[in-house]
Structure 1
């Protein structure tokens, strides 16, 4: 199943993967019982989340993961905060946060997650390096 804050993205996901369940929702309050998930993938999910809000997000990840549950967190690292007012010809108001790997690892640990691996991928078509962190509850 999947969760996204954007109803439009949920429509795309449902169209592309009709056999899966998708819900509009927030990472700050997942509609999942405590300890219900064996795994959670957050792929570029924190790009629009400011550093000050990340502890709440990671606490929610900890809440929904079962003991021993695994997290894969992928995000852009290195670089400045970017603000965009136009994307693909559409007016937007988006902030793109690039989070330092060590800071994210610290926040995951503070949330009760055990960071197991860190992989940094150099840019190919992207402008910044990509971090892949795995953790267990």
Structure 2
């Protein structure tokens, strides 16, 4: 693992209980834009020949469970062993494993969908294209990728900021869409929302097809 991966894993291992309490199902009920995009993603995958979905950076597993409730064959992967253990305890009927996003334990073209919900934000910008290429590798033709991240209203390059858990990056939406396209994932829908948070950043959700 790289140094930033080791630091990020340790940081999330140290906040498992707090993070799980903040992002439990009841919190998702108060996030209509996330539910809308994740629900649309699940609906499209559910109607495709391959309903198998990987939740990358699944954390405590709340979105993996949401996707499973929407009728897709969802499983979660995370760098943090603490988060994986928490997810397994919270959702024992679902599968959760440790994994790095640049080396997914998934065969080529095996998935109908990949969800990366704010799980790429800690990755240095120069490493993001490789992670998106790995998503494209595991997706079947026509498979879907839903990526969510903190977004900038203006600017051409990502900006580093002090996330409460580990250093993170905020991206111009069009720039991130270009990276998806460069990895062979063509964006076809987006939702950009101003959450009115103290950070001052936007929330962005990009839906792309392989």
Is TM > 0.5 for Structure 1 vs Structure 2? yes
Unmatched segments (≥5 aa) in structure 1: none
* The one of 171, 175, 181 aligned to 1:99: 171
**Alpha-carbon distance, 1:80 to partner:** 3.7
More strand per residue: 1
**Alpha-carbon distance, 1:12 to partner:** 1.2
- 1:59-81 CA distance string (max 9 Å, x none): 00000000000111111112841
Q: Match for residue 107 of structure 2?
A: 33
Q: Match for residue 54 of structure 2?
A: none
Indicate whether 1:48 and 2:131 are aligned.
no
Unmatched segments (≥5 aa) in structure 2: 1-74, 153-157
In structure 2, C-alpha distance between the alignment counterparts of 1:103 and 1:49, rounded to whole Å? 15
**Alpha-carbon distance, 1:126 to partner:** 6.0
State the aligned residue count: 130
Counterparts in 2 of 1:21 and 1:107: CA distance versus 1, 3 Å: same
Q: Match for residue 63 of structure 2?
A: none
Counterparts in 2 of 1:118 and 1:32: CA distance versus 1, 3 Å: same
Which TM-score applies when normalising by structure 2? 0.59
In structure 2, C-alpha distance between the alignment counterparts of 1:106 and 1:80, rounded to whole Å? 17
4+ residue runs of structure 1 moved beyond 3 angstroms?
none
Aligned partners of 2:148 and 2:203 also within 8 Å:
yes
Alignment RMSD (CA, Å) = 1.6
Which TM-score applies when normalising by structure 1? 0.89
